[in-house]
Amino acid sequence: MSNILFAKAHFKTLDKELATQEILKINKEYWFWDTYRKTNMLPLMTKNAKLGKAGASNIINSGEFTWLEFTPVIIRDWFENEIFPWMGCKTRIMALLTEPNFSNGEHIDCDESQIGTQQHKFRVVLQGRTGTLYYKTKEGNIHVPAINEPFIMDGSWPHGMSNDSTKVKLTIAAGAPWIGNSNYDNIEVMMNRSDYTLPDDVSTYLKS
């Protein structure tokens, strides 16, 4: 499974339109700007329900993963019933919002020592196009397939995203401590790591 770069995952359908409406109704004071990824973030599940940027860190926080009180029921129930049993654990859950005609910062979602290891991330795009996500490779930028389903991506490979829509792009992201399963029975692998070559300047995409 460590060879997966991008895979479609099959789950019970989530009402994305309703989930988007519910997320966008949440008070803007709970969002924060991530300078590394250049995107707006909203914590939905964090350790001890920590708010804001502090909630994004599993290292500085302790305790159990807990839903923030404003997290929409539709998202909470979908993760509790469909995703967490499949993952085998609870994780930090964030909503990512990218403004229209804006590009996120190209980045890597793991430490330098973890590059090349299995670092799967779970994502579901509620509003916007999945295919605007791309990987940096030695051959150039490679866009992922345009799909409607949730997906698994390799967070240890440098990647970026450009929202070319007139609407905000809204994505739900499940992060650490989950780094993937040893086996999956509900995915369709669409891109393999072995088919591409990392760029020579990988270190430039790491968080400084």
Residue 30 exposed, middle or buried by CB count within 10 Å (0-12, 13-18, 19+):
middle
Taking 90 as the threshold, does the pLDDT of residue 44 lie above it?
A: yes
pLDDT in tens, 90-122: 999 999 999 999 999 999 988 888 888 899 999
- What are the structural domains, with CATH classification, of the chain? 4-205 (2.60.120.10)
Taking 80 as the threshold, does the pLDDT of residue 208 lie above it?
A: no
pLDDT in tens, 4-16: 999 999 999 999 9
pLDDT in tens, 60-80: 566 899 999 999 999 999 999
State the pLDDT at residue 59.
56
State the pLDDT at residue 110.
86
State the pLDDT at residue 199.
92
State the pLDDT at residue 60.
58
pTM of the complete model beyond 0.85 = yes
For 39-54, what is the mean pLDDT? 86
What does the mean pLDDT of the chain come to?
Answer: 92
